[in-house]
Amino acid sequence: MEASQIKFRTNATPEDIEHVREIIVSTGFFYDFEVPVALELVEEGAFEGEQSGYFFIFAEVEGKPVAYSCYGHIAGTDAGYDLYWIATHNDMRGTGIGKIVLRETEKKAKEMGARYIIAETSSLEKYLPTRLFYEKNGYSKDAFIADYYKPGDGKVIYVKRL
């Protein structure tokens, strides 16, 4: 996908709550109990703006959000940022839009003073494409916590220095 086909937006709107639900559910990667967490962040962003501490990149194609990220400053650090969520609608997987959203997220975070971004994911085999995505985009695997989510499902922590 060409970056010129994508329109970026950084303000979360109330309509994005449903857009994000659709994106996340379409992926098949998230547990049912994770969906309300993502939606809560979008809701806070929509109604509280930057004061929520959550920042967004929405990628729209033909006027419809098809991918997004949510990121923010890590409290207690001078310039650390967390990538809370990044997801691409299943219909758009493999088009490169996820990489484009990640690059835009890194750019915006760096403009805000970020020195590094932390991304976390599961160690389950199902998440191998996610781990490879981070690695292909310059993130290094800096930590692993066994049995973090549940027995046999550890947390893999990636870091990218900006």
Q: Given a cut of 80, is residue 119 above it in pLDDT?
A: yes
In a domain, 160, yes or no: no
**Interacting residues of 147 by C-beta distance below 8 A, sequence separation 6+:** 153, 154
Residue whose pair of structure tokens reads 């937006």 in the numeric block: 9
In a domain, 18, yes or no: yes
- Boundaries of domain holding 70: 3-120
Specify the number of domains making up the chain: 1
Q: Given a cut of 70, is residue 2 above it in pLDDT?
A: no
**Interacting residues of 76 by C-beta distance below 8 A, sequence separation 6+:** none
pLDDT given at position 82:
98
pLDDT given at position 3:
63
In a domain, 157, yes or no: no
pLDDT tens profile 59-90: 999 999 999 999 999 999 999 999 999 999 99
CATH assignment of the domain containing 81: 3.40.630.30
Q: State the average pLDDT for the chain.
A: 95
In a domain, 56, yes or no: yes
Q: Do 114 and 81 form a contact (C-beta atoms < 8 A)?
A: yes
In 28-162, alpha helices (H): 35-48, 97-111, 128-136
pLDDT given at position 32:
87
Question: How does residue 1 score in pLDDT terms, banded at 50, 70 and 90?
Answer: low
In a domain, 152, yes or no: no
Q: How far apart are CA 97 and CA 77, in angstroms?
A: 30
Q: How far apart are CA 64 and CA 39, in angstroms?
A: 17
In a domain, 141, yes or no: no
Q: Given a cut of 80, is residue 4 above it in pLDDT?
A: no
Question: How does residue 126 score in pLDDT terms, banded at 50, 70 and 90?
Answer: very high
- Cα 90 versus chain centre, distance: 15
